[in-house]
Amino acid sequence: MSGSNLTKISTGTSGLDEILRGGFIAERSYLLRGDPGTGKTILGMKYLTAGTESDETVLFVNLEESEDDIRDNASTLDIDLSDVHFLDLSPDSDVFVDDQSYDIFTPSEVEQEPLTQAITDRVESIAPDRVFIDPLTRLRHLTSDDYQFRKQVIAFMHYLKEQGATVLFTSQHSDES
């Protein structure tokens, strides 16, 4: 496969596009890793808005911050997320308030299947060209061990590639991955 046959898409950040000689290679997955507060989510928002500016369908899968908080933060930075689809999987206050006990099953056994189903349902309903997952490492808590986590992530990335999506996901340095 020759490098000249690979389609490149903008990252949404001109300096990064320049370093990458045109941007990300389409239909591949990219990991953006860094400490909290280093701008990973901002870069992800710019990546998605570059897609909307090219009439692409884009999906933001948020696993930590709520959609409302993300939209508020984006507006303070003059980033327009109005054409961005969200799958808000962030925990709400009920997780803290409710007395959730798992007497027979572990939380991972109870929560993994509905989460996976929510993601696949959303991906299949909107067929995104670009997906941003922030942070992917939150899914680590839904698997029994590192091997299972890696296996799930690889399968998830293959699934998104089969759907024709280019994927950017984040991970924090302090997270186990």
Note if the bond before 91 is cis, omega within 30 degrees: no
The yes-or-no verdict on residue 5 having pLDDT over 80 is no
**Mean local confidence (pLDDT), 103-131:** 74
The yes-or-no verdict on residue 146 having pLDDT over 90 is no
Query: Is 31-172 CATH 3.40.50.261?
Result: no
CA angle 166, 143, 95 (to 5 degrees): 95
Amino acid at 85: H
Task: To the nearest 10°, report the CA torsion of 106, 133, 151, 36.
Answer: -80
Answer whether 0.85 is exceeded by the pTM.
Answer: no
Q: Where along the chain do its domains lie?
A: 31-172
DSSP class of 137: G
The rounded distance, in Å, linking the Cα atoms of 63 and 99 is: 21
Model confidence pLDDT, tens digit, residues 30-80: 999 999 889 999 999 999 999 999 999 999 999 889 999 999 999 999 999
CA 164, chain centre distance (Å)? 15
**Mean local confidence (pLDDT), 15-26:** 96
Say what percent of the chain tops pLDDT 70.
Answer: 79
